[in-house]
A = this chain, B = another copy of it.
């Protein structure tokens, strides 16, 4: 007699394989679900492992296109970045993955969902807030927060033993495509370079830059062209994959940071976001080029707020939906081309052009007066100084009194 059906976010790795077996042990029927968001993984091997461990049903879903279009593109529009440095790769993936999991749960009549995220991290929150937002009645089983589970499996060794007893095909330690290499090292230790999966070390990267042009429309890339080779990509997934590859080749997008988790701890994170880093710089450039200064300033604040929401797991919240709408609105005229080079870990913006730019060569020229009267600047400055001079007057009076 089943205790109900669980849809388990399954990676094929050691943790979730053990969780699969343990859930069955607790009396649940287990459906495994593995999302392909671009990670380098043997999906068929994962399917077989899940089946051999007793999964009632196995879902392997290719979410790559929707991940890029519905989750990464809005983040590019927002210049999403957490605490000035982290490009939110993992954060953005979670709602995409959990959304499909919840759809499967509803369609399969499962009352439960489960995942292998730890009890101290951000991913549990990103995952579960999405589930609650889209399927409010769902019940969530988070084994790493259940004492019976975490007291039984206190380390990798316990899991390995359990896997062996469960006749689990020896699980490889898979790491997702966009999933950062988030590990804890003694802080002052420098990250070993074999940590990185997508990016070459800048020291070993090519000695010649690659130059590309990215074309934007409404704030999202619609075409990337290699300026020398002429290679062109035009679908979202192709564009993003190409930039990932290019950035990876040149060692772009590695960071080693300390970040503030939503639960109130600081943790060290080492991430690589090659394609995201290129797009971040290119979008910043075309945006400033085509957007009014004050709209940009307001939108900057909205982007910071948006980034916090992503980091904290609130993609599916009324406020995040509202912000996505406002940010998309701000991008209506963000179109044009940015030329850039990638070289030895760095992205260099080389130039830009746009049919709808607010940049006005004649206006800004030092040689042409155009419609601009320099005398106006005197009045502008003097009126801006009214307040400053008053302040000075008052300070002087205050000093005289003493």
Contacts and interface: CB of A to CB of B under 8 A. Distances in A.
Interface stretch (A18-26, A29-37, A105-113, A285-293): A285-293
A128 B373 contact: no
Interface stretch (A50-58, A168-176, A235-243, A359-367): A359-367
A3 interface: no
Contact of A352 (B258, B298, B356): B258
Contact of A388 (B145, B316, B345): B316
A209 interface: yes
A292 to B, nearest CB: 4
Contacts of A345: 343-346, 348
A165 interface: no
A125 to B, nearest CB: 6
Number of copies: 4
A378 B189 CA distance: 33
Interface in A126-149: 128-129, 132-134, 136, 142, 144-145, 147
B367 A154 contact: yes
B380 A263 contact: yes
B294 A298 contact: no
Counting chain B CB atoms within 10 Å of each CB, which of A190, A373, A388 scores highest?
A388
Interface stretch (A40-48, A68-76, A323-331): A323-331
B300 A129 contact: no
Given A256-B349, A260-B288, A350-B256, A83 B358 contact: no
Interface stretch (A5-13, A59-67, A391-399): A391-399
A187 B376 contact: no
Nearest to A306: B298
A376 B387 contact: no
Contacts of A284: 84-85
Interface string A373-384: 111111111111
A302 interface: yes
A304 B297 CA distance: 10
Contacts of A298: 302, 305, 319, 322-323
B387 A294 contact: yes
Contacts of A263: 377, 380, 383, 386
Contacts of A90: none
A258 B375 CA distance: 25
A353 interface: yes
A285 B388 CA distance: 21
A298 B302 CA distance: 8
A254 interface: yes
Contact of A267 (B318, B339, B364, B385): B364
11 contacts: A133-B388, A145-B377, A263-B377, A264-B383, A265-B363, A294-B319, A297-B319, A316-B388, A318-B387, A345-B345, A380-B382
Given A136-B393, A376-B378, 8 more contacts: A132-B385, A133-B385, A133-B392, A150-B374, A263-B377, A266-B288, A355-B401, A379-B379
